[in-house]
Each structure stands twice: as C-alpha cells, then as structure tokens.
C-alpha cells in the first residue's frame, strides 16, 4: 500500500531527511504498512517526497534505528512488527473519569527535579498563594514512560501531606485530604513539538508531536492549590469530547 506525501517545508529548521523520517514514521504507526510489507523502492519514495535518494536513505536509517524497518540488499526495506501502537489513553473531561485514567499508572518516585518555584500562569482570575512546591516526574504504564508531569502544589498543603504526595499519584491524594474543600478545576490542551528534555525523558524523537495539558484546581476560596504541566507522548494519548446534538 502506498500513500501520497505532503509537501515538505523547506523553510523550517528541521532537515529534509528528518521531515521524511517523521512522515514515514507516522504512516507506519497509522498502519499504512504492516509487519512484513516492503516499503516502496527508494527512487519511488524520493520522487514522492521530491527529494534525493540520499535524503531517503538518511530517513530510512533513522527508522532502522527505531527498529521499525529492516533493509536488506537485493530485497528492499521491510517493516518489522514494532510499529504497533500503544493503546491510547483518553483525556477525560470530568474528574471522576480523570482519576480512573490514572488508576493503572506507576509514578516514578525518584523525582527528576523538585524545589520551590511558582508556575508560569496565564491570565486567570484566581488567588495565587505566596509559594508552590514543585515535583517533576514521569508516569509509567506497560513499562513505558508515557508522560512527563510537573506538579505545582501550594507549599503549605504539600508540607502537610508530603509523604503521600511523594509516594502516590497526586490527584487521588488531593481529593482524599480531610477538610479540604475544592472549588474549580479545568484544563487546557495544546499540540506542540517535543524539545530536548521531553525527548530524552519519554524516549521519543526531537520534534515529535506531544499533547501538552495544563491542569488547574482551586480550593473553595478560589485559591490555586494545584497546577500541573503534563507532556504526553503522541502515541499514548487521545482526546475524547462528547458533542451535543
């Protein structure tokens, strides 16, 4: 099976071979080719992308390093079985569903970074506490780091429940704190490209698409007590939204 190729952007800083690699990798993940299939010959790919054969070879080399294809002299480039996608997690729009989303997660207890720092906040009408404690760590599911999360917790709240926040998932801990009355909760979602830090932590390629979610929770007095900056691998997340009819 073949697929038409979108034009490459020769004005962006990403080299052409990497753009070709990203396109082919996405097509493999989408099941355009399955295990055992042969990719089109290099000249055909070069014509489809309007690039040189050398550029196609560089892209194929990257796919080979990912374990997605194998090139054999005289036979061509065949697809391996590794391109099977992870079952996507659904970003939900209610907190009950969101808590269920994380039920099978294992947060890595050794933080990647932590300390006292305030999050960068958009213009939101909430009461900002004087200090936050942040913890940056990865979440693991099916032995794969699928998201990088940086939690910002109102420092007093964090200090009172430090053991729980360090050793458990933050949202269930937050909802279980006696006497804490929550006010509002909302989140935003943006599609971005992975930078070097996200690339290294989530084991994806530089420039891969990621879903970046920013999540906010206030107490009953509209004081911001929780803020999370979450980066999800593109192949591990799916946004589900009901439409009213």
Topology alike, domains 16-83 and 89-239: no
Radius of gyration of the chain (CA): 22
pLDDT digits (tens, 9 = 90+) for 67-102: 889 988 888 999 986 554 455 555 555 666 666 666
User: What architecture is domain 89-239?
Assistant: 3-Layer(aba) Sandwich (3.40)
> Among the residues of 182-226, which ranges form H helices?
196-202
The DSSP bridge partners found for residue 216 are 186, 227
Residues of the chain predicted below pLDDT 70: 1-7, 12-14, 81-104, 238-245
At 37-73, the pLDDT tens digits run 999 999 999 999 999 999 999 999 888 887 889 988 8
| Domain locations along the chain | 16-83, 89-239
From the candidate CATH numbers 3.30.300.30, 1.10.10.10, 2.60.120.200, 3.20.20.100, the one assigned to the domain spanning 16-83: 1.10.10.10
Q: Quote the CA–CA distance of 145 and 191 in Å, as a whole number.
A: 19
């Amino acid at each position: 099976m073949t697929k038409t190729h979108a034009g490459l952007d020769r004005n962006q800083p990403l080299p052409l071979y990497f753009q070709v690699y990203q396109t082919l990798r996405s097509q493999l993940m989408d099941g355009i080719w399955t295990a055992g299939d042969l990719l089109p010959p290099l000249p055909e790919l070069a014509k489809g992308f309007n690039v040189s054969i050398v550029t196609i070879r560089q892209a194929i080399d990257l796919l080979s390093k990912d374990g997605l294809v194998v090139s054999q002299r005289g036979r061509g480039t065949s697809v391996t079985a590794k391109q099977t996608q992870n079952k996507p997690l659904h970003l939900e729009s209610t907190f009950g569903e969101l808590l269920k989303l994380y039920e099978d997660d294992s947060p890595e207890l050794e933080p990647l970074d932590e300390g006292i720092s305030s999050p960068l906040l958009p213009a939101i009408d909430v009461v900002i506490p004087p200090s936050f404690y942040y913890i940056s760590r990865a979440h693991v599911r099916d032995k794969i780091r699928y998201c990088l999360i940086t939690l910002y917790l109102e420092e007093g709240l964090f200090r009172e429940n430090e053991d729980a926040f360090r050793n458990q998932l933050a949202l269930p801990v937050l909802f279980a704190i006696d006497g804490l009355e929550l006010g509002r909760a909302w989140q935003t979602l943006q599609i971005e490209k992975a930078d070097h830090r996200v690339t290294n932590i989530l084991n994806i390629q530089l420039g891969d698409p990621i879903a970046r979610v920013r999540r906010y929770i206030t107490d009953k007095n509209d004081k911001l007590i929780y803020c999370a900056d979450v980066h999800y691998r593109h192949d591990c997340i799916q946004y589900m939204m009901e439409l009213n009819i």
